């Protein structure tokens, strides 16, 4: 049957001499692998809409075994990404994570909207790539239901402390008084399992909580202090990567590009 979807091309794979397979993240059906016959030809009617990072409307002949592209038109191409190597590398990471967390056949409206907003900001160069990365990672944890509780110490409830320990895998803050000197990667005496602990200031916890819970039009409102923004980036990355329990080559490549700038 023919279905019409709007979605983002997060990856393409060459097939044969002239075809390609698109990995789409769609609002209606989540992740879809769609075969585009002749999609690599310059004369293909699919060419513009089947490029990576393109957001478009797609008409797909959908069956139980195959999805074949029938029609396609571009709605946004984010051409600005190709002018900035760091932005393009970060867009690769965003798309890889998005594809990783999206389930085939399940609607992905909220995560797709987050990715599109981040790609737009990167394309327009209206925020530094590192800030976009932080926002994407923090907001995604909330959409996946794995975000940390940053409202205060999970043991005493205090929210006015200068320093906390963030228990990455449990998603909880522990103030220094209650934590009594807990350190990175310390073995818990109670559970006998490895714990991943990061230091987090009260200001950092407050800023991260604001990003996670802000209205969509204010989610990029990060602190002006560069040190706080840098630490938020370190925390958001470690938190998300450990919860997803995998590594991303696109992230490694993005960090290499940042170091070489």
Q: Which range is least confidently modeled, 67-71, 145-149, 163-167, 182-186?
A: 182-186
Q: How far apart (Å, rounded) are the C-alpha atoms in residues 127 and 34?
A: 33
pLDDT at position 180 over 80: no
DSSP string covering 196-243, please? Answer: -EEEEEHHHHHHHHHHHHS-GGGTT---S-HHHHHHHHHHHHHHHHHH
pLDDT at 194: 62
In this prediction, residue 188 has a pLDDT band, given cuts at 50, 70 and 90, of very low
> Does 164 fall in a domain?
yes
In this prediction, residue 190 has a pLDDT band, given cuts at 50, 70 and 90, of very low
pLDDT at 181: 57
> Does 123 fall in a domain?
no
| pLDDT tens digits, one per residue of 59-109 | 999 888 889 999 999 999 999 999 999 999 999 999 999 999 999 999 999
187-212 average pLDDT score: 80
- What are the strands of the beta sheet with 163-167, ordered from one edge? 149-153, 172-175, 163-167, 197-201
> Does 194 fall in a domain?
yes
> Does 156 fall in a domain?
yes
pLDDT at 199: 93
pLDDT at 43: 83
pLDDT at position 261 over 70: no
Which DSSP state fits 103? P
Name the H helices within the chain: 85-101, 109-124, 129-144, 176-179, 202-213, 226-244, 249-260
Q: 24, 57, 77: which is the final residue of a domain?
A: 77
The number of domains in the chain is: 2
The single residue listed with the structure tokens 């004369």 is 43
> Does 261 fall in a domain?
no
Domain residues for the domain of 21 are 1-77
Q: 51, 77, 103: which is the final residue of a domain?
A: 77
Q: Whole-model pTM?
A: 0.92
The CATH number of residue 51's host domain is 2.40.50.140
Q: 25, 44, 77: which is the final residue of a domain?
A: 77
The residues, any chain, with a CB within 8 Å of residue 168's CB and separated by 6 or more, are: 195, 196, 197, 198, 238, 239, 242, 243
Q: How far apart (Å, rounded) are the C-alpha atoms in residues 47 and 218?
A: 35
7-26 average pLDDT score: 95
> Does 25 fall in a domain?
yes
Residue 251's nearest CA partner among 90, 11, 82 is 90
Residue 94: burial class (beta carbons within 10 Å; 0-12, 13-18, 19+): buried
| pLDDT tens digits, one per residue of 110-134 | 999 999 999 999 999 999 999 999 9
Cβ atoms within 10 Å of 234's Cβ, excluding its own: 12
Q: How far apart (Å, rounded) are the C-alpha atoms in residues 215 and 190?
A: 39
> Does 68 fall in a domain?
yes
Cβ atoms within 10 Å of 250's Cβ, excluding its own: 17
Instruction: Provide the angle, in degrees to the nearest 10, between the axes of the packed helices 109-124 and 129-144.
Output: 180
> Does 196 fall in a domain?
yes
């Amino acid at each position: 049957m023919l279905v019409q979807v709007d979605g983002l091309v997060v990856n393409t794979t060459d097939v044969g001499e002239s075809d390609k397979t698109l990995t789409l993240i769609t609002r209606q059906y989540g992740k879809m692998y769609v075969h585009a016959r002749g999609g690599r030809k310059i004369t293909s009617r699919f060419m513009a809409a089947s490029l990576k990072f393109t957001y478009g409307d797609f008409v797909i002949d959908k069956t139980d075994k195959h999805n074949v592209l029938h029609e396609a038109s571009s709605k946004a191409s984010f051409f600005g990404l190709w002018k900035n190597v760091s932005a393009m590398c970060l867009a690769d990471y965003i798309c890889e994570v998005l594809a990783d967390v999206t389930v085939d056949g399940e609607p992905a409206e909220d995560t797709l909207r987050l990715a599109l907003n981040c790609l737009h900001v990167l394309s327009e160069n209206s925020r530094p790539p590192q800030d976009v990365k932080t926002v994407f990672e923090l907001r995604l944890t909330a959409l996946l239901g794995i975000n940390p509780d940053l409202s205060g110490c999970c043991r005493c409830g205090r929210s006015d402390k200068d320093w906390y320990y963030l228990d990455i895998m449990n998603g909880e803050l522990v103030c220094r008084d209650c934590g009594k000197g807990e350190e990175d990667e310390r073995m818990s005496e109670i559970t006998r399992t490895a714990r991943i602990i990061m230091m987090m200031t009260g200001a950092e916890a407050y800023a991260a909580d604001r990003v996670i819970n802000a209205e969509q039009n204010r989610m990029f409102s990060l602190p002006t202090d560069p040190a706080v923004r840098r630490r938020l980036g370190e925390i958001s990355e470690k938190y998300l990567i450990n919860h997803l329990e995998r590594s991303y080559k696109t992230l490694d490549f993005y960090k290499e590009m940042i170091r070489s700038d």
